[in-house]
Amino acid sequence: MLLAAPASGVVFYGSAQDEAVEQMLLDRLGESDRTVRAASGRSFDAARADYRSALAVYRDLGEEHGGSRAGKLVPERLKAYYEAVAAPYRRGRHCEAVAPLTYLRSVPESIDPKLLGDLAGWPDGPLATSLYACGVSRLGDSTAGSPGGELAELLRTFPGSAQAGKVGPAVSKKISEQARAVSGSTPCSATATLRGLRASVASMPEKSVSVRAGEADRGIEDGTYACGVDQFRKKQFTEARKTLTEFATTYRKDGRRARAQDIAIAAEIATDRPAAG
């Protein structure tokens, strides 16, 4: 009995030590879970560092302590992690979802893909959907960022996707809408949008899409004339002269060229003598 006592004490001590390690790892897991939940309530840019910090812990637990109780919970926690990061997509905020989904596509580069399972390839579909929806909503918007914006990124990253196949028709539809708008009550604004749209489309990396930029040319021609006339009617004589002079110089074969020149001359006179306008 005296010989057995030290041995049993060692076993008990080792078991207690192992349990202490298990609890420490579970505490690390719980802390990362709380970090992810808190981060999900902020914008992705503000939460990016916290997401990366939590992922580093999940990676360590899953890869270095995979046999522990905490390590075995990592695949389940990664599902919650992806759901938290991709929250804007689930809420239909496609422009907001592009950055976090792009980040999630990079996660398999920094963690064992076996821990991710099907999650590794999941972001592709949602990202393609978000790039398309956001890009279409920003077509012709000069503040949308880089030329072509999200649609160009879609064509580069997912050229064979169903979403990429819809870009061409969406571009043509938007051009047609703006071409009709130049004959409305705000021709100058519609023409500016059409010019921006043409520039964005022309920069698209897919030729079958970029060639559609030419569909905007007629609308821009009509819009430039309509804008100049509208400016003149609103007594914006300096602007009208500039717009219609540009029209006459650019579109020499247009049947309205002579009329545009006449109005431009009237606008020049009216700049000094408004009543003459």
Average the pLDDT over 142-161 and give the result: 79
Q: Are 99 and 109 in contact (CB under 8 A)?
A: no
Per-residue pLDDT tens over the stretch 14-25:
576 777 888 999
Look up the pTM and report it: 0.83
Helices (H) and strands (E) in the chain, counts: 15, 0
- On the question of pLDDT at 6 being above 80, the answer is no
Cβ-Cβ contacts under 8 Å for 140 (sequence gap 6 or more): 174, 178, 193, 194, 196, 197, 200
Nearest CA to 222 out of 195, 261, 262 is that of 195
Per-residue pLDDT tens over the stretch 108-117:
999 999 999 9
Average the pLDDT over 158-165 and give the result: 96
Q: Output the pLDDT for position 143.
A: 47
Angstrom distance (rounded) from CA 247 to CA 258 = 10
Kindly report the number of other CB atoms within 10 A of residue 230's CB atom. 21
Per-residue pLDDT tens over the stretch 194-252:
999 998 899 899 999 999 999 999 999 999 999 999 999 999 999 999 999 999 999 99
Angstrom distance (rounded) from CA 37 to CA 277 = 66
Average the pLDDT over 46-70 and give the result: 94
Angstrom distance (rounded) from CA 246 to CA 233 = 18
